[in-house]
Structure formats: structure tokens, C-alpha cells
């Protein structure tokens, strides 16, 4: 019995950091791709082309974006398959209340949802803006100001996180026009 308990503890402690490391690397992907400079449709499309990410079907990309009726929409499968966990990236642009807004969304597989959320909130000093609970998902909304730009962040998380979860993280902000 003691050997079994000891073996279970070793497995838990060995697995714990890898989930945390994985959440950290996936948070970095979301932060670098979508949050640090805010969503940027053109920049992201150029990166996808340079990195030769395979395109995602438009109807699939539409399921990931938080915007209704986007004027522009593109998505890519960044990784996935037998050796890698699933990662997708979707960018969108829409007119909302007479202003052009851009969105950037990542869909991630095999990530510790709790670790990801806590690390994101801490990293961007996000303020809770509410949440809604679905049948098997919770939708958590945050606001944050990153480099002087206000962003609305939404996390779609499993209702009961198990440490190896599928999540969707999105940010939406007013389009910035560079002069």
C-alpha cells in the first residue's frame, strides 16, 4: 500500500510541472499572438503565411471567433496530430457600433485550464468582467489594458477542469491604424 501511494505521488509530482509548463507555453502563444500588441489581422495573416500554417475552413474558424458577422475572417491549424496537442489561431475584423474592431482567438488542447487562467490574469493584470455558465463550459470575461490599449478577453473553459483540457481564449480590441 505504501509503495502504491508513493508511486502515485511520484507520478502526480512528475506530471504537475509538465502541465504547468505546457500551460505556460500555450499562454505564451496566446499572449504573443493575440494580447501583447493586441489583435492585428494583417500582422497575424502575414505570420501565418511566413510560418506556412495550414488554413482552416471558414465555417470552422467562424465557430471560434467571438464576433458575429465578421467582415474578415481567417484561421489556421498551428499544430496538432499524433505528436503534438491541438493549437489553432483565428483572426477576425468587424464593425461594431461604427468602430472597426479586431479579434484574435486561440483554441488549445491538452492544457491545464486552471493554470492557464491564473497565469493569464496575473500576467496582464486582468479585471473580471463577469462570467456565464453553459451546460459543460464556463465563459469568463476580463478586461485589461496592455501597452495603453484596452482589450476584452474571453476564456471558454471546461466546467470541470481535469488538467488536460480544451480551451478557447480570445481578445477583442478596437483596430489600431498605424501612420
78-111 residue pLDDT tens: 987 666 788 999 999 999 888 999 999 999 999 9
Q: Is 124 a domain residue?
A: yes
Q: Is residue 28 part of a domain?
A: yes
Its pTM stands at 0.84
Count the domains in the chain.
1
- 113-172, pLDDT tens digit by residue? 999 999 999 999 999 999 999 999 999 999 999 988 899 999 999 998 888 899 999 999
- The total number of residues shown for the chain amounts to 179
Quote the pLDDT of residue 122. 96
Domain membership flag for residue 9: yes
Q: Is the pLDDT confidence value at 15 over 70?
A: no
Tens digits of residue pLDDT in 57-77: 999 999 988 888 899 999 999
Q: Give the pLDDT score at 5.
A: 26
d(CA 154, CA 70): 17
User: pLDDT digit string (tens) for 20-54?
Assistant: 447 888 999 999 999 998 899 999 999 999 999 99
Angle of helix 2-30 relative to helix 113-124, nearest 10 degrees, comes to 40
Give the percent of the chain with pLDDT over 90: 63
- pLDDT value, residue 54: 95
Is residue 179 in a domain? no
Confidence of residue 1 (pLDDT cuts 50, 70, 90): very low
Expressed as residue numbers, the domain containing 146 is 2-174
CB burial readout 26-60, b (16+ within 10 A) else e = bbebbbebbbebbbbbeebeebbeeeebeebeeee
Mean pLDDT of the chain: 84
Amino acid at each position: 500500500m505504501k509503495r502504491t501511494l508513493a508511486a502515485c505521488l511520484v507520478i502526480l509530482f512528475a506530471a504537475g510541472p509538465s502541465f504547468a509548463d505546457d500551460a505556460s507555453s500555450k499562454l505564451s502563444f496566446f499572449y504573443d499572438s493575440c494580447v501583447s500588441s493586441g489583435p492585428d489581422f494583417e500582422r497575424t495573416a502575414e505570420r501565418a503565411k511566413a510560418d506556412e500554417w495550414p488554413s482552416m475552413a471558414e465555417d470552422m474558424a467562424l465557430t471560434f471567433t467571438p464576433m458575429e458577422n465578421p467582415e474578415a475572417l481567417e484561421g489556421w491549424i498551428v499544430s496538432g496530430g499524433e505528436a503534438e496537442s491541438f493549437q489553432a489561431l483565428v483572426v477576425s475584423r468587424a464593425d461594431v457600433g461604427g468602430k472597426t474592431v479586431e479579434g484574435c482567438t486561440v483554441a488549445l488542447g491538452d492544457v491545464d485550464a486552471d493554470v492557464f487562467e491564473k497565469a493569464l490574469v496575473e500576467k496582464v493584470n486582468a479585471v473580471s468582467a463577469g462570467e456565464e455558465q453553459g451546460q459543460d463550459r464556463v465563459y469568463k470575461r476580463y478586461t485589461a489594458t496592455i501597452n495603453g490599449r484596452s482589450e476584452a478577453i474571453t476564456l471558454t473553459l471546461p466546467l470541470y477542469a481535469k488538467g488536460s483540457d480544451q480551451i478557447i481564449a480570445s481578445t477583442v480590441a478596437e483596430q489600431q491604424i498605424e501612420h
